[in-house]
Amino acid sequence: MNTSDEEIQNKLEANLPVGNDLDSIAYRKVFNAVSSAPTFQLSSQFADKVILKIEAKESKASSSEIYWLVAGVAVLFVAAIISGLLIGFKPSFGAFTFWASYPGLFAFAIGLFILIQWADKKILKTPSL
C-alpha cells in the first residue's frame, strides 16, 4: 500500500483534518461521495408482489403435499388388493363378531366414550395465555 494514500485514508476515516494537496482534496471528495446510498427506489407495489410470491409458493407446496398423500393412499390401496388376490384373502370380522352377542355392552362402550369426551370438554379448562 502507498503510505501517503494509506495515511490520508486513515485520517479521513478517523475524521481528522488532512492537507490541502491534490491527493487530500481528491480523497475528501471521494469520502464525501462513497457514503451516499445508490439512488434506487423499489416500486410502490413491491410489498404486494412479495406477498403474492409467498402465497403462490405456499399454495404450490400445499398442493404438492396433497398430491403425495393421495398417491400414497392409492398405492397402499392397490397393494392391498393385489396382496388380497395373491393370498386369497376373504374378508371376515373375526374377533369383532364377539360384539354381536353383547349389543348392550357395545352401546355402553359408545355411551361411555361420548360421556368422557363431553366431560373432558366441560371439566378441563383451556389454559389461559
Partner 1 sequence: MISRLVDHREDREELCQDVFLRVYEKLGEFTFQSKLSTWIATIAYRHGVNHLRKKKIEVSDVDEEKSFSTHFISDENIEENYSDQEMNNLVLKWIDQLPIHYRTVLTLYHVDSMNYHEIENITGMPEGTVKNYLFRARQLLKEKVKNYLGKEEMI
18 within 8 A of 12, measured Cβ to Cβ: yes
Q: 58 or 113, CB closer to partner 1?
A: 58
Q: How far is the CB of 47 from partner 1 (least distance, A)?
A: 9
Instruction: State the DSSP string of 25-81.
Output: HHHHHHHHHHTSPP-----TTHHHHHHHHHHHHHHHHHHHHHHHHHHHHHHHHHHHH
- Do residues 27 and 4 make contact, with C-beta atoms less than 8 angstroms apart? no
Residues between 52 and 91 with contacts to partner 1, criterion CB under 8 A:
53-54, 57
43 binds partner 1 (CB under 8 A): yes
Do the beta carbons of residue 17 and residue 24 sit within 8 Å? no
CB of 55 to partner 1, least distance (A): 11
Find the shortest distance in angstroms from Cβ 19 to partner 1. 14
Which residue do the cell numbers 407446496 mark? Answer: 61
Interaction of residue 29 with partner 1, rule CB under 8 A: yes
Q: Taking CB under 8 A as the rule, does residue 38 contact partner 1?
A: yes
> Interface with partner 1 includes 126 (CB under 8 A)?
no
Q: Tell the smallest beta-carbon distance from residue 5 to partner 1 (Å).
A: 5
Q: Pick one of 40, 68, 93, 96: the residue that binds partner 1 (CB under 8 A).
A: 40
Choices 30-38, 71-79, 95-103, 115-123 (CB under 8 A): range interacting with partner 1: 30-38
C-alpha distance across the termini of the chain, in Å: 62
Long-range contact set of residues 8-13: C-beta below 8 Å, sequence gap at least 24: none
